[in-house]
């Protein structure tokens, strides 16, 4: 039992979700470590969505709404943290959902498919033989993707992703939107668009933005993308962390 007044109650509840996913057999043990890395950065950004993430999310939704074949790539951590929101966002932006695991096993893929179906997904790509297309230049099991999904996608949304994988997708000419709370990770640096925030907070905000921005015309959406500069956003996030640490050091 986590006490009601625990200062990190929310974070501990989320941690239990991740542990449950491990026990249920669809999260690899390495996923726990990846989660811990993220928790640390959440401390640094102040455990709330900052302006740099808001700007990135707006551009991300514009990109997803203009995409021909958008895909949300799902791994164990994402399925553990935001299963319902993945399905809701996919509906809002008309995206396909594809399971894509670093430590790929058929059992884990099927379990994630089950989690997503329970959350309301009608179709889940990338499970078993469906992941038959090969992404070149990648030396992990992730090189296998669905011909109906990531293989033909123009925009791919990934969360808690690995750097090599992100790079491979970018090299294939895809626009990669990464949700990664660490602005220094290779994923954050490689992605076409980086949302530096906790995925738990990102999904609900992206769903609201999608509902709103769907009403905009294509030119308006394109303008948002044209004005967006990912390097500036990464710089902004690093400056924010550094200034915040400085402020905190002064207040001790
Ligand atoms: P890279 O491979 O991109 O260099 P890495 O090896 O440091 O990154 P991985 O374990 O491959 O890290 O990927 C997990 C990434 O997801 C990390 O950058 C981590 O900070 C981030 N992350 C973890 N939890 C969350 C979360 N709740 N929301 C957003 N990002 C998260
Ligand atoms: Mg990595």
Show contacts of 24-27: CB within 8 Å, 24+ apart.
Answer: 24/111, 25/107, 25/108, 25/111, 26/76, 26/79, 26/80, 26/108, 26/111, 26/112, 26/115, 27/76, 27/77, 27/79, 27/80, 27/108
Residue 219: in which H helix or E strand, if any? helix 218-227
Q: Whose CA is nearest to atom 22 of ligand 1?
A: 38
Residue that has been written with the tokens 């303008």 in this structure: 223
Å from CA of 168 to ligand 1 middle: 17
Nearest atom in ligand 1 to 165's CA:
2
Å from CA of 38 to ligand 1 middle: 6
Write phi, then psi, for 162 (nearest 5 degrees).
-90, 145
Architecture of domain 51-241: 3-Layer(aba) Sandwich (3.40)
Q: Token pair for residue 190?
A: 């490689």
Where do the structural domains in the chain lie, given as residue ranges?
A: 51-241
ipTM: 0.98
Supply the pTM of this predicted model.
Answer: 0.96
The pLDDT of residue 220: 98
Residue that has been written with the tokens 């200034």 in this structure: 243
Q: Whose CA is nearest to atom 15 of ligand 1?
A: 160
Residue 230: in which H helix or E strand, if any? helix 230-251
Q: Strand order of the sheet with strand 96-99? A: 96-99, 70-74, 155-159, 175-179, 193-195
The pLDDT of residue 139: 62
Establish whether residue 37 lines the binding site of ligand 1, counting it when its CB lies within 6 angstroms of any ligand atom.
yes
- Cα gap 247→91, rounded to integer Å: 42
Flag residues of the chain having pLDDT under 70.
Answer: 137-142
The pLDDT of residue 248: 96
């Amino acid at each position: 039992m986590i006490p009601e007044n625990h200062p990190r109650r929310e974070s501990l509840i989320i941690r239990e979700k991740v542990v449950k996913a491990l026990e249920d057999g669809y999260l690899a043990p390495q996923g726990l470590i990846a989660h811990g890395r993220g928790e640390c950065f959440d401390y640094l950004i102040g455990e709330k969505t900052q302006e740099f993430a808001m700007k990135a999310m707006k551009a991300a939704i514009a990109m997803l709404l203009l995409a021909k074949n958008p895909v949300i790539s799902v791994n164990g951590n994402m399925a553990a943290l935001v299963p319902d929101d993945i399905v809701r966002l996919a509906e809002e932006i008309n995206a396909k959902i594809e399971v894509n695991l670093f430590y790929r096993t058929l059992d884990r893929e099927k379990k994630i498919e089950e989690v997503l179906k329970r959350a309301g997904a009608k179709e889940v790509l990338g499970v078993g033989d469906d992941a038959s297309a090969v992404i070149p230049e990648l030396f992990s099991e992730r090189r296998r993707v669905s011909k109906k999904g990531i293989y033909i996608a123009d925009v791919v949304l990934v969360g808690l992703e690995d750097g090599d994988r992100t790079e491979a997708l970018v090299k294939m000419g895809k626009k990669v939107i990464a949700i990664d709370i660490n602005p220094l990770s290779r994923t954050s640096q490689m992605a076409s668009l980086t949302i530096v925030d906790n995925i738990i907070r990102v999904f609900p905000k992206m769903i609201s933005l999608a509902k709103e921005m769907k009403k905009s015309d294509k030119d308006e959406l394109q303008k948002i993308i044209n004005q967006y500069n990912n390097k500036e956003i990464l710089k902004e996030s690093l400056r924010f962390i550094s200034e915040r640490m400085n402020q905190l050091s002064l207040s001790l």
